[in-house]
Amino acid sequence: MQMMQTKSGPTFMNAMMAKDLAVTTFIAFSLSFLLVGFQTLALQGQQLSYINHLGDVAWSVVLVVLGRYGLLVDREGAHRITLVVCGVAAIYLIGSAVAGLAEVTWYAMLPLPFAQPMVNGIFGAGAAILAVRAASNMVTRRATMMSVEQREAYETRRNRLNRKFSQTVGPIMVLLAIFMPITPWGDRGRVDTLVVILTSVMLGWGLNIVVGLAGLLDLGYVAFYAVGAYTYAKMSIGFGWDFWQTLPFAGLFAAMFGVALGFPVLRLRGDYLAIVTLGFGEMIRIVLLNWTDFTSGAQGISGIPYMDFFGIPFIREPQEGQQSFAKLFGVEYSLDHRIYFTYYVILCLALITNFVTIRLRKLPIGRAWEALREDEIACRALGVNPRNTKLTAFGIGAMFAGFAGAFYATRLGFIAPFSFTFDVSAGILAFVVLGGMGSQVGVALAAIILVGLPEVTRELQLYRALIYGCAMVLIMLWRPRGLLSHREPTIYAMPAKSRFFGLWK
Amino acid sequence: MTAGVPLLNVEHLTMRFGGLVAIDDVSFAAQSGQITGIIGPNGAGKTTLFNCITGFYKPTVGRVALTAAGETHLLERLDGHIIAKTARVARTFQNIRLFPGMSLLENLIVAQHNKLMRASGFTVLGLLGLPIYRHAEVRAKELALDWLRRVQLIDLADQPAGSLPYGGQRRLEIARAMCTDPVLLCLDEPAAGLNPRESAELNELLLGIRDEYKIGILLIEHDMSVVMKICDHIVVLDYGRKIADGGPDAIRKDPAVIRAYLGEDEAA
């Protein structure tokens, strides 16, 4: 059947396609006519008026229909032409967005569908997806004719590639992270951005224990982050302790809250567990908001001591008899010292989280977590205590969030309940799900992409939610189990040639 | 071996679900070094009996005493995971319950959880990478590999358990139960879905376990070729009641058993 079609060549128009395109036109028009077509304006002191953007409506309908047509033609087998046309369109349109960001003015002179470069870019991304699709269809047309053995070999090869990728990218990323501040690109702003990214990576790794390994869907992870942050704030202000003295307590309290949350939800699974943990996250936030005596409510706590160098503060003018970092090392005072030191602290904390997780996975407790995720009843039949296993997962996951929270508080010097909303939990969960449950490198990559991209350019900040959404949809379409979903066994029967790099996975 | 206290002593066990009486006053004993078959038509309460013995259900009435190495555990009072841990009762499931995403070897290592947990100092020592845990893990791995060899799955040791064919999954589940070092092994229809050749291999495996480890085996099975060939002792249930109890030959001739399986002759 397929052979015959390829011989006769793809059809470029028939009744079915015409109908499909008519429906697409109608949907695109009805969606964009009111949403895009009219903008209300409140002029000063006058009645409400509007301006129309019918040109934009026309362009969006045309582009959507063209895209749909590309999809249909590609399905008919005309992969090459779809690839070329969509590829050119994608480069042209995405170029507009890039030019907009880089403030290249001549690009705007070119005939472009929309005045906003970013909107052009979004349509360009659509064209790019079509092009990638066409290209992958060109490859997989061969794949459909593979035998079972060939397909299995293909799968094995892909898994090995995945593993190789994780094993090489992990150490490279760590090396880059270590040397980044001394490269020419390591200015203060960029390092500060990296601090934000690394905090997210650390939170992703922490949640990965609960969600990725133990399979407990936790939507209230931000609560433990908040507990860590408030513990640090109260202890450092109240007792005058420095970061290193307070850090263990932040972890301890967060772990205690994790276990406290764990107890009532021991019997719950899946959706029910997700809802209760979501409620718990909100409870913590609302308590922080309303317990004004202790947390100063919505005002938040300010004046939290900044990071110090193991007890020696980074200050410009130390008082009489007081030590300071600059004085100790005999260097000129610079704000950079603190920021760079902060950066290395979070890098260490994140790497510790990573190493501990990898270690735990290879210990009985980690295997019990994974077994619990796979089948709780079988676990009980083997004498694994489900209660203790779940509580340790909640506790250890929460502990790392507590450490990250303490770090967050000392970095900003100010915390308030609005920093610990459900959005943060959802974002962290997105790293874990998109990165591939249980894959350390995958989680880090997802966090870097999702946090890093919007941080790098202010322009993209507006489109943050859109990027999240698109990334989610695309990953679910292409890699339903996450970017790097391949699971490595924790113990091998056959000794492998080189286990050295396995450390980073 | 059979003298004195039996390994498992079930007395007046009754399990009610609301108005439904799933098990009605069942008593029997199972010995170490013997295979005790539990048979009966569908819905006779065999799996419910297993669930009561292994702690997944709390029986309404009755006593389940397990005596091994001079110690007696009253199973009806213990939770499922404690029965497996301290009373050392292992079980398999009618619908296989492996850890499908984990490798065969990992499945068998998880079965040695409690032993390894102690060796890792409840994670603390293991986290520090002390040799005491590393040695324990090596020993656990050797035991697991022995069992994989025994059930002919050694070549697939690093593959995920979910990718095994049906017969392999059955064998792996038995190996996993044996890795918990049990004194009583409860098998829920281990021959279901196996072809005659695999069935015969299963018989060999179970007889081997019985003779080598001298543990008690409780076996629910519909396949009479398995039951009659390997069981030393058979308990027959029907509608939750015990209708017969004895050796395979006695059971084969028992009129109550024939009635339960073939139906009653109206005229008789």
A335 against A18, higher pLDDT: A18
Distance in angstroms (rounded) separating the CA atoms of residues B57 and B76:
8
pLDDT digits (tens, 9 = 90+) for A236-246: 888 878 888 88
pLDDT digits (tens, 9 = 90+) for B134-176: 888 888 888 998 898 888 888 888 888 888 888 889 889 999 9
Distance in angstroms (rounded) separating the CA atoms of residues B142 and B148:
10
A409 against A329, higher pLDDT: A409
pLDDT digits (tens, 9 = 90+) for B227-247: 888 888 888 888 888 888 888
**Residue in this structure with the two tokens 């695309």, named with its chain if needed:** A474
Distance in angstroms (rounded) separating the CA atoms of residues A27 and A37:
14
Q: Which residues have C-beta within 8 Å of that of residue A405, sequence separation ≥ 6?
A: A224, A225, A226, A227, A228, A229, A230, A231, A232, A250, A254
Pairing of strands B184-188, B89-91: parallel
Neighbours of A95 (CB within 10 A): 18
Of B55, B103, B127, Cβ closest to residue A489: B103
Q: Distance from B226 to chain A by nearest Cα, in Å? A: 24
Of A360, A367, A492, Cβ closest to residue B110: A367
Q: Mean of the pLDDT values across residues A422-451? A: 85
Buried b (16+ CB within 10 A) or exposed e, B172-203: bbbbbbbbbebbbbbbbbbbbebeeebbebbb
Distance in angstroms (rounded) separating the CA atoms of residues A139 and A185:
39
Residue B187 touches partner A, C-beta closer than 8 Å: no
Q: Which DSSP symbol is given to B160?
A: B
* pLDDT > 90: percent of chain A: 17
Contact B127 A363 (CB under 8 A): yes
Which pLDDT score is estimated for A119? 81
Q: Distance from B96 to chain A by nearest Cα, in Å? A: 9
Least confident segment among A344-353, B1-10, B26-35, B111-120: B1-10
Which pLDDT score is estimated for B131? 76
Closest-CA residue of chain B to A486: B101
Question: Residue A74 has which token pair?
Answer: 């590609």
The average confidence (pLDDT) of chain A is 82
pLDDT digits (tens, 9 = 90+) for A264-277: 888 887 788 889 99
A502 pLDDT above the threshold of 80 = no
Confidence of residue A495 (pLDDT cuts 50, 70, 90): low
pTM: 0.79
Show the 3-state SS of A272-291. HHHHHHHHHHHHHHHHHHHC
Distance in angstroms (rounded) separating the CA atoms of residues A50 and A40:
4
Confidence of residue B3 (pLDDT cuts 50, 70, 90): low
Instruction: Answer whether B13's CB lies under 8 Å from B21's CB.
Output: no
Contact B101 A360 (CB under 8 A): no
A404 pLDDT above the threshold of 60 = yes
* Secondary structure of residue A4 in the 3-state scheme: helix
Which pLDDT score is estimated for B268? 45
B66 against A7, higher pLDDT: B66
Contact A364 B101 (CB under 8 A): no
* Secondary structure of residue A333 in the 3-state scheme: coil
Which pLDDT score is estimated for A468? 73
- Per the DSSP assignment, residues forming a β-bridge with A40 are A50
Confidence of residue A456 (pLDDT cuts 50, 70, 90): low
Quote the Cα angle for A215-A404-A421, to 5°.
75
Pairing of strands B61-68, B216-220: unpaired
Of A364, A379, A493, Cβ closest to residue B116: A364
B63 against A315, higher pLDDT: B63
Question: Residue A422 has which token pair?
Answer: 């459900």
CB contacts of B163 in chain A (<8 Å) are none
DSSP states along A120-143: HHHHHHHHHHHHHHHHHHHHHHHH
Which pLDDT score is estimated for A204? 92
**Distance of CA A268 to CAs A220, A274, A428, Å?**
15, 9, 22
Distance in angstroms (rounded) separating the CA atoms of residues A380 and A258:
23
Q: Which residues have C-beta within 8 Å of that of residue A163, sequence separation ≥ 6?
A: A486, A488, A505
Which of B79, B113, B180 to probe by mutation at the A interface, max A CB count within 10 Å? B113
Distance in angstroms (rounded) separating the CA atoms of residues B99 and B179:
15
How many C-alpha atoms does B13 have within 13 Å on its Cβ side? 31
Contact B113 A360 (CB under 8 A): no
A395 pLDDT above the threshold of 90 = yes
Q: Distance from B264 to chain A by nearest Cα, in Å? A: 39
pLDDT digits (tens, 9 = 90+) for A171-205: 888 888 888 777 777 777 778 888 888 999 999 99
pLDDT digits (tens, 9 = 90+) for A104-128: 777 777 788 887 777 888 888 888 8
- Which among A161-170, A402-411, B148-157, B205-214 has the top mean pLDDT? A402-411
Distance in angstroms (rounded) separating the CA atoms of residues B251 and B88:
30
Residue A380 touches partner B, C-beta closer than 8 Å: yes
Distance in angstroms (rounded) separating the CA atoms of residues A22 and A457:
39
Confidence of residue A397 (pLDDT cuts 50, 70, 90): very high
B24 pLDDT above the threshold of 60 = yes
